[in-house]
């Protein structure tokens, strides 16, 4: 099934099809089909079958892709190789406060 087939049979709005790039549209259609297959055979509406979506990307996959894109942007801006660094811990939201707490030995309440 292709994006053009969906347009031809009126299943997809031509404005939407021309706005969203074809690879994204194909991926979206494939994902929706896999989700439909995951939930369709289950009689209990709270459950689902994991096999149809087993090949879907995980959060870690997305995090890695984002790290690669960030490294590409830095490399392009600096015109030099950049190592891909993946964040394993959430960054400290307030580094100044954290440094003050470390120097004072902690907060007592």
Domain range for 18 is: 1-55
HEC-encoded secondary structure of 3-67: HHHHHHCCCCCHHHHHHCCHHHHHHHHHHHHHHHHHHCCCCCCCCCCCHHHCCCCCHHHHHHHHH
Predicted TM-score (pTM) of the model is 0.46
**Same domain, residue pair 46 and 63:** no
**Same domain, residue pair 95 and 64:** yes
pLDDT band at residue 102 under the 50/70/90 scheme = low
**Same domain, residue pair 1 and 51:** yes
Residue 50 confidence (pLDDT) above 80: no
7-11, 17-21, 33-37: segment of lowest average pLDDT: 7-11
Per-residue pLDDT at 104: 61
The gap from C-alpha 11 to its chain's centroid, in whole angstroms, comes to 26
DSSP conformational letter for 52: G
């Amino acid at each position: 099934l292709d994006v053009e087939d969906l347009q031809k049979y009126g299943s997809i709005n031509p404005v939407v099809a021309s706005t969203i790039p074809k690879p994204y549209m194909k991926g979206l259609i494939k994902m929706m089909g896999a989700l439909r297959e995951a939930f369709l055979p289950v009689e209990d509406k709270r459950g689902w079958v994991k096999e149809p979506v087993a090949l879907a990307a995980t959060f870690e996959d997305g995090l890695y892709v984002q790290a690669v894109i960030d490294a590409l942007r830095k490399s392009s801006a600096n015109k030099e190789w950049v190592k891909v660094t993946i964040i394993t811990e959430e960054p400290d939201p307030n580094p100044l406060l954290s440094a003050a707490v470390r120097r004072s030995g902690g907060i007592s309440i």
